[in-house]
Chain A
Amino acid sequence: MQSIGDALGLAVALVLSGDPDLLEIVLLSLQVSLTATVLACMIGLPIGALVAIGRFRGRNAVLILMNALMGLPPVVVGLLVYLHLSRSGPLGFLGLLYTPTAMIIAQTILIAPIIAALSRQVLEDLHTEYADQFRSFCLTRLQTVQALLWDARYSLLTVGLAGFGRAVAEVGAVIIVGGNIDHLTRVMTTAIALETSKGELGLALALGMILLAIALGVNAAVQSVRMTAARQAYV
């Protein structure tokens, strides 16, 4: 067990030295979570848009379900994906368990409901403003959805960010389906969990600092894009 001071010193040294193992872990984390975010957006945004403009029976039930799924526990998602991908599972023949692909699948399932539920809210507000005009233009449903998604693009960036933040910070799903295998499926959060339990606080703290820095950096970037957009009244 190291003192916090020692651990902090080690962490800073690790980050500054550009340790290749550390870099590998960081890059894999970003690769997995960014891919999951893009996939979750491809699934979640159309669903959010369709529910936003749709008026159908059972819509309220769908809304409740979507909102409830936002709180999916990562370990439960990990377990479900594990059951499907394990040797004896229905998708076991794909041999995906303990690969980055399995981690991407788990995180996509975890954050797609977040993207869908948050984008639904954003797009419904926008649709309230545009609805009469769009009906007057006699737009098709597809044209309406496309226009809403494009016009809400800067608000949806924040939605995507919420999904990415959830993905990159979760540990429960990726540790179950990825297995935290060194040089293969070890990402920042699983490494932090492992190193902490081993008492190797330096590496854990270094990864924690990088995770925080990434969160700050991505938020700052999105915020600056939004401010540029706001100056043009596009938000």
Chain B
Amino acid sequence: MFDASMMRTAPESRATQVSPILPLTMRDVVLRFGGATVLDGVSLDLGSRGCTVIMGPNGAGKSLLLKLMHGLIAPGSGDILWGGARPSEVMSRQALVFQKPVLLRRSVAANIDFVLKARRKDRSRRTALLEHVGLLHKADQPARLLSGGEAQRLALARALATDPEVLFLDEPTASLDPASVLAIERIMSDARQRGVRVVLVTHDVGQARRMADDVVFLHRGRIAEHSPASDFFPEPRCAAARDYVNGRIVV
């Protein structure tokens, strides 16, 4: 059986050393590329627990919002603070799983080892991590020959190897079959249960319903709505989100 204690290294001891990473506060964040404003006046508060789902049509700025939160890109103006700290200061306490997993040209096991070694984690956790994502039997295979679902699960295991307090996922189940979607949702739910703050970008309304504690709806670079899932899913307040959830095409 999977031993949950193998997954993380003593969260209590870490909590005593460092200040809490949450809540996240974003105020009037603007992001421009060239002349185009891709995110405009984004203000957002994320509480300390649960799973936030970010939805919205293509080009709404979902992936960019994720990268801004994580600190991979800097806003043109506005503030992003994690418990008072700038994103770059807390990046190592977060992990981002990219839409297209970037796997190293090594074996599946070596992909995990790389992160455990680079981040000075307990190397013996590799087996537990691979078992957790159902890839232990593929440990010796080249990572880049994995199927789409397997590759995404390996990327997830690698992200979890860093013991993130916040886990960002950018459309982790796009173009995967239902079984793979289920496997990945179980891994995400498990992380959330263990207290990892999950921020998930998805186009899959069903997935959003299954996973979300709160929903951020982005439309044309602005936050059109941020509601608890229990309010959003019966009936979103904003018209664009209502159309989107009800399967009408929103541009």
By a beta-carbon cutoff of 8 Å, the part of chain A in contact with chain B is 129-130, 132-133, 135-139, 143, 147, 150-151, 232-235
Excluding A130-B102, A232-B145, 19 further A-B contacts by CB distance (< 8 Å) are A129-B102, A132-B67, A132-B102, A133-B102, A136-B70, A136-B91, A136-B94, A136-B95, A137-B115, A137-B118, A137-B162, A138-B92, A151-B105, A232-B142, A233-B142, A233-B144, A234-B105, A234-B106, A234-B144
Tell me which residues across on chain B come within 8 A of A143, comparing CB atoms: 118
Minimum CB–CB distance for B164 against chain A, Å? 10
Give the top 3 A-B pairs by smallest Cβ distance, nearest first.
A233-B144, A232-B142, A133-B102
Can you list 24 A-B contacts with CB-CB less than 8 angstroms, sorted by A residue number? A130-B102, A130-B104, A132-B72, A132-B98, A133-B98, A133-B102, A136-B72, A136-B91, A136-B96, A137-B115, A137-B162, A138-B92, A138-B119, A147-B104, A147-B114, A147-B118, A150-B106, A151-B104, A151-B105, A232-B142, A232-B144, A232-B145, A234-B105, A234-B106
Tell me which residues across on chain A come within 8 A of B104, comparing CB atoms: 130, 147, 151
Bound Cα distance A138, B93 (Å) = 10
Q: Which residue of A136, A150, A234 contacts B142 across the interface (Cβ within 8 Å)?
A: A234
Residues 80-128 of B contacting A (Cβ, < 8 Å): 91-92, 94-96, 98, 102, 104-106, 114-115, 118-119
Bound Cα distance A130, B142 (Å) = 17
By a beta-carbon cutoff of 8 Å, the part of chain B in contact with chain A is 67, 70, 72, 91-92, 94-96, 98, 102, 104-106, 114-115, 118-119, 142, 144-145, 162
- The chain B residue sitting closest to A235, CB to CB, is B105
Tell me which residues across on chain A come within 8 A of B91, comparing CB atoms: 135-136, 138
Count A-B contacts at CB 8 Å: 45
Bound Cα distance A130, B94 (Å) = 18
B119 touches A137 (CB 8 A): yes
- The chain B residue sitting closest to A134, CB to CB, is B102
- The chain A residue sitting closest to B104, CB to CB, is A151
Minimum CB–CB distance for A148 against chain B, Å? 10
Bound Cα distance A135, B71 (Å) = 9
- The chain B residue sitting closest to A234, CB to CB, is B105
Minimum CB–CB distance for B116 against chain A, Å? 11
Tell me which residues across on chain A come within 8 A of B105, comparing CB atoms: 151, 233-235
Bound Cα distance A136, B105 (Å) = 18
